[in-house]
């Protein structure tokens, strides 16, 4: 991490220690000049006409003021316009960028003046959530994955003081957000770990080690157990690797749970494509093909930390998809644990195959809902880009609630068609279903494939996170490392069931 962060709730009174920074927001109105002057007067500081006019210029929206006469040492002033371009990710994204820019500055603390809530009422459902996005942004921008660098610097200590009228509210927000981001960090650390170290069994070990701290029971179905349970889909995909497959099953059960929900996550710790091998350019990001698994493991951890009144089962089929003498082959037919058979047309469509056994196992647990996360298809990225996940479900209520959770957290999902017409595209002449359809509608046919293995009586949603799970340049907190997309989304959903 760039900094060892310590968040502190403060009231409106500004007090500065040595080597401190201050962050202040102004809304672009016709009162801006007077507000700016009054602000500097309140600090007994003088802003030059050049600085003032530069900041007031419509082309500029930031002012960095270096104070040579005392504290704060530096002031970051941000001008914002609440228009059609503004969204609920503004503060999260701004602070993710700001915290990175502070890494080469010798600061001990940063003071943040919480903006007045009223102008932002249409974007945040409470002042508490606005403050939460500020803290999330700082955590997200502070994240690094440098454990294998020999020349890495030690993290510096940085106090982050959130100034707001009600310190009790801020303390509560800090406590909850630190738990949320601890789980996001857990997911990101798993996703960014190189596949040479994060094998299927290693993923299971790390999950068990972390989750048992929070009272979560973890079972690991090894290769022998998978054979006993006739989970031939997981076994087939994992056969080509020297690192054996497994399935991770976690359970969090509070007293008197309101619902029982199964979360299923694709756990392909590395995907070469198998015998239908990828080009080398397509392999470099494939350590992140277990992002869905990381999401559900982090989500169950967070649910336990927040003491949510919902029983959760997290299920992660974990494999490496590698070419070898024992690899499964195009043309194979796999009989899954459900008894349904799969014709293999392409070994690079492996995620849906291992999820077949996992989703069937989830159905046997008789949950009230099943939600799966998977970096399943490039087709979904073609359709939606890297900024949104594809949502597939026949349940309108489930779709609406997941959509709302995504809009609030800015981990957005977009519902795609899920008509039965698409089932015809994966019909097989020699098995119950083929693992690949024609070129068109690939994200949808992949979802329809999964539907074969879910109990139709159980509300189910499939979330294809192939785009937003991988690092991308859409904002300040996704550009350097794989993202952990989905943790904040699903916990927001679970909190509101």
Neighbour count for residue 47 (Cβ, 10 Å): 18
Can you read off the two tokens belonging to residue 198? 């994060």
Q: What is the pTM of this model?
A: 0.98
Phi, psi of 99 (to 5 degrees): -65, -35
Q: Which residues contact 6 (CB under 8 A, 6 or more apart)?
A: 157, 158, 159, 160
Determine the Cα–Cα distance for residues 294 and 317; give it in Å rounded to an integer.
Answer: 11
Count H helices, E strands: the chain? 14, 18
Q: Please state at what angle helix 167-192 crosses helix 200-211, rounded to 10 degrees.
A: 160
Residue 54 DSSP SS3: helix
Determine the Cα–Cα distance for residues 9 and 166; give it in Å rounded to an integer.
Answer: 9
Per-residue pLDDT of the chain (497 residues; tens, 9 = 90+): 999 999 999 999 999 999 999 999 999 999 999 999 999 999 999 999 999 999 999 999 999 999 999 999 999 999 999 999 999 999 999 999 999 999 999 999 999 999 999 999 999 999 999 999 999 999 999 999 999 999 988 999 999 999 999 999 999 999 999 999 999 999 999 999 999 999 999 999 999 999 999 999 999 999 999 999 999 999 999 999 999 999 999 999 999 999 999 999 999 999 999 999 999 998 999 999 999 999 999 999 999 999 999 999 999 999 999 999 999 999 999 999 999 999 999 999 999 999 999 999 999 999 999 999 999 999 999 999 999 999 999 999 999 999 999 999 999 999 999 999 999 999 999 999 999 999 999 999 999 999 999 999 999 999 999 999 999 999 999 999 999 999 999 999 999 99
Least Cα distance to 463 among 420, 385, 403, 422 occurs for 403
Determine the Cα–Cα distance for residues 32 and 249; give it in Å rounded to an integer.
Answer: 56
Give kind and range of the element (H or E) at residue 390: strand 389-393
Domain ranges of the chain: 3-169, 185-495
Least Cα distance to 356 among 345, 372, 369 occurs for 372
Determine the Cα–Cα distance for residues 193 and 184; give it in Å rounded to an integer.
Answer: 14
Can you read off the two tokens belonging to residue 188? 């990101």
Q: Which residues contact 163 (CB under 8 A, 6 or more apart)?
A: 10, 11, 12, 13, 14, 111, 112, 113, 114
What is 3-169's CATH topology?
Answer: 3.40.220
To which CATH superfamily is domain 185-495 assigned?
A: Zn peptidases (3.40.630.10)
Task: Give me the active site residues, please.
Answer: 278, 352
Q: Which residues contact 150 (CB under 8 A, 6 or more apart)?
A: none
Residues 86, 92, 96, 102, Cα dihedral to 10°: 90
Angle in degrees, CA 464, 191, 319, rounded to 5: 75
């Amino acid at each position: 991490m760039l900094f060892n962060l310590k968040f502190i709730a403060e009231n409106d009174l500004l007090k500065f220690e040595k080597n401190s920074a201050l962050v202040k927001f102004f809304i672009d109105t016709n009162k801006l000049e007077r507000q700016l002057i009054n602000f500097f007067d309140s600090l007994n500081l003088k802003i030059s006409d050049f600085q003032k006019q530069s900041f007031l210029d419509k082309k500029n929206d930031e002012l960095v003021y270096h104070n040579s006469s005392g504290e704060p040492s530096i002031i970051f002033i941000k001008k914002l316009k609440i228009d059609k371009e503004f969204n609920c990710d503004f503060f999260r994204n701004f602070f993710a960028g700001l915290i990175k820019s502070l890494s080469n500055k010798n600061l001990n603390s940063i003071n943040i003046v919480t903006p007045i809530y009223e102008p932002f009422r249409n974007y945040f459902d409470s002042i508490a959530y606005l403050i939460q996005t500020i803290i999330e942004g700082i955590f997200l921008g502070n994240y690094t994955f440098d454990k294998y660098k020999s020349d890495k610097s030690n993290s510096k200590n940085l106090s982050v003081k959130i100034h707001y009228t009600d310190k009790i509210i801020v303390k509560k927000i800090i406590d909850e957000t630190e738990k949320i981001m601890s789980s996001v960090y857990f997911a990101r650390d798993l996703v960014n770990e190189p596949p040479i170290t994060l094998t299927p069994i290693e993923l299971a070990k790390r999950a068990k080690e972390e989750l048992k701290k929070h009272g979560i029971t973890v079972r690991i179905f090894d290769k022998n157990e998978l054979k006993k349970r006739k989970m031939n889909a997981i076994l087939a995909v994992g056969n080509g690797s020297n690192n054996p497959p497994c399935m991770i099953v976690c359970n969090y059960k509070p007293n008197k749970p309101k619902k029982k929900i199964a979360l299923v996550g694709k756990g392909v710790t590395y995907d070469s494509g198998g015998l239908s091998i990828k080009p080398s350019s397509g392999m470099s990001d494939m350590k992140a093909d277990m992002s869905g698994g990381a999401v559900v493991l982090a989500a169950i951890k967070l649910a336990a930390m927040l003491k949510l009144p919902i029983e959760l089962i997290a299920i992660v089929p974990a494999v490496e998809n590698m070419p070898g003498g024992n690899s499964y082959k195009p043309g194979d037919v796999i009989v899954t644990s459900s008894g349904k058979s799969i014709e293999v047309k392409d070994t690079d469509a492996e995620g849906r195959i291992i999820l077949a056994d996992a989703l069937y196992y989830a159905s046997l647990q008789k949950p009230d809902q099943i939600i799966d996360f998977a970096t399943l298809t490039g087709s979904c990225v073609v359709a939606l880009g890297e900024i949104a996940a594809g949502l597939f479900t026949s349940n309108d209520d489930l779709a609406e609630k997941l959509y709302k959770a995504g809009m609030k957290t800015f981990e957005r999902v977009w519902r795609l068609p899920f008509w039965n017409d698409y089932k015809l595209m994966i019909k097989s002449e020699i098995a119950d279903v083929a693992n690949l359809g024609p070129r068109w509608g690939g994200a949808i046919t992949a979802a329809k494939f999964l539907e074969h293995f879910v109990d139709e009586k159980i509300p189910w949603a499939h979330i294809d996170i192939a785009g937003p799970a991988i690092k991308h340049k859409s904002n300040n907190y996704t550009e350097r490392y794989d993202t952990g997309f989905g943790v904040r989304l699903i916990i927001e959903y679970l909190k509101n069931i």
